[in-house]
Amino acid sequence: MVKTKGLEGVVATTSSVSSIVDDVLTYRGYSIDDLAEYTDFEEVIYLLWYGKLPSLKQLAAFRNELNENVSLPSELIAQLKSFPIKNIHPMAVLRTCVSALALYDKEADDTDDQANLRKAIRLQAKIPAIIAAYARICEGKEPIIPEVPLSFSANFLYMLKGSIPDQTSEAAFNKALVLHADHELNASTFTSRVCVATLSDMYSGITAAIGALKGPLHGGANERVMKMLSEIDGIDFVEPYLQRAFANKEKIMGFGHRVYKNGDPRAKHLREMSRLLTKVTGEGKWYNMSIKIEEIIRREKGLLPNVDFYSASVYHCLGIKHNLFTPIFAISRTSGWIAHILEQYENNRLIRPRAEYIGLKHQAYVPLAER
């Protein structure tokens, strides 16, 4: 048996959803650079699920379907209001609510192809509604369901803040969603595929993926990046902060990647968006600190920023609370999770790897009375 820690270097399956070859990320063969520059997130969702970019007519119909499925069951709203506000992470709330959504979906256990696509629409539409609703409830406000059709990006920001976002904010959030949509066989995507490979339902697969994304070594990294920036709080304090971290052998979040050797291709898009947003909002210190941190980490450790590093300052400048960074990652990555779940169902085989046993051997059983 071939064994490797963390399955590094192991090719576990074939997929046509996305690829990382020579540090180039593509969705269905389209460069992430082109998609980030030219597409709306709804187009990317359609591309990931259906394998092709939509026509104008197809995109309009797809947007309508998403908008029509935003509303949450009243019972789920009541459940959200019953949750404790203190000492609870929104990812735990999202994990619980996505699981609960299945209880209100009569097609939850229907694995027919068309039923799965209908559930995909419902999940993709309702996950941002859950996050925005809980965020508002925590502020003592009522959840909002948009009355006027908006883009997917604008819809979330409106549900979160109660006002239609400006074009710069909408474009920035849209680009972030596009960049985070899929990333080959990452931890949460693999988790979703392992789950549905048992022929469990889509809600279970997404719930499992959210559980994997919750960890700070995966989706939680951008939240930790913003925590670091807040602790530094000034460009003059960057060098001493990092030198202390190096001396204490602390991990600096937002740098390095298991797959990319010459840098994450998504980082440059978020770096530029961070520059623009921090300038517009008058919060240039976050960008300036980030640039300084990048220079020092590159010099001292030879590491380059990944997608999480600059997404932190982007979300901060959009006025998004820091504990929502990882749930927002889930909004985007749901599109990729669903694409992989659909692909797993299409050509399924139970995922069951082996483990090399390294424990004690030839143990003699001792009766309880004699121990």
Residues in the chain: 371
Average pLDDT, the chain: 93
Tens digits of per-residue pLDDT, 304-342? Answer: 998 889 999 999 999 999 999 999 999 999 999 999 999
Please say if the pLDDT value at position 345 is more than 70.
yes
Does residue 35 register a pLDDT over 70? yes
Q: Evaluate if residue 11 carries a pLDDT over 90.
A: no
Dihedral, CA of residue 211, residue 212, residue 217 and residue 220, to nearest 10:
-40
Confidence band for 1, pLDDT divided at 50, 70 and 90: low
Tokens representing residue 175 in the block? 């680009």
Domain architecture of the chain: domains with CATH: 18-215+322-346 (1.10.580.10), 221-317 (1.10.230.10)
Average pLDDT over every residue of 276-290: 94
Q: What is the mean pLDDT of residues 12-28?
A: 92
Helices of type H across the chain: 32-38, 41-50, 56-68, 74-82, 90-101, 113-138, 152-161, 167-180, 187-196, 202-213, 221-232, 238-247, 267-281, 284-301, 307-317, 325-346
Residue 12: the pLDDT is 81
Task: Specify the higher pLDDT residue, 9 or 120.
Answer: 120
Contact 47, 339 (CB under 8 A): no
Tens digits of residue pLDDT in 117-157: 999 999 999 999 999 999 999 999 999 987 778 999 999 99
pLDDT confidence tier of residue 2, bands split at 50, 70 and 90: low
Hey, which residues are catalytic here? 257, 308
Q: From residue 127, how far is each of 71, 77, 152, 277 by CA, in Å?
A: 10, 13, 12, 25
7, 185 Cβ separation under 8 angstroms: no
Q: CA–CA separation, 142 vs 129, rounded Å?
A: 12
Confidence band of 36 (pLDDT split at 50, 70, 90): very high
Is 90 exceeded by the pLDDT of residue 59?
Answer: yes
Query: Residue 258 — very low, low, confident or very high, per pLDDT cuts 50/70/90?
Result: confident
